[in-house]
Structure 1
């Protein structure tokens, strides 16, 4: 299975979208929206901001399955 490294994060407050390259060795817990400066944190049950607000889950989850946590 090929791991997708690009994910578009959508800010839940203002709707701003930005494509980001995800880290391959760790989950990203915080993310600041460049437009409204809101600090995003994962939703309950998600391990990182990419799993909560991105178009692709983080690489560790892609490799380990849905219940894998970074």
Structure 2
């Protein structure tokens, strides 16, 4: 399976959605919603904001590797 590099993040505060490019060389721990300016952090047990709020998990998780 090919690794997907785009994920749609949904803000849990306001519901705003945006497709973002995921980094392949680092985890993204913080993400600021462009609509309400809430700074998202990963949920407990998740390694990054894409695993918590995205439609696609981060590249390392997709490849069944440990994340960052």
Native 8 Å contact 1:25 1:60 kept in 2: no
User: What secondary structure does 1:51 align onto?
Assistant: helix
Q: For residues 19-58 of structure 1, what are the structure 2 equivalents within 5 Å?
A: 19-58=19-58
TM-score (norm 1): 0.92
Cα RMSD of the aligned pairs, angstroms, is 0.9
- Deviation readout 1:5-63 (Å, 9 max, x if unpaired): 01000000000000000001111000000000000000000000000000000001111
> 2: CA distance between counterparts of 1:44 and 1:24?
22
Q: How many aligned residue pairs are there?
A: 68
TM-score (norm 2): 0.95
Paired position in structure 1 for 2:18: 18
> 1: CA distance between counterparts of 2:36 and 2:25?
28
Unaligned runs of 5+ in 2: none
> 1: CA distance between counterparts of 2:55 and 2:33?
16
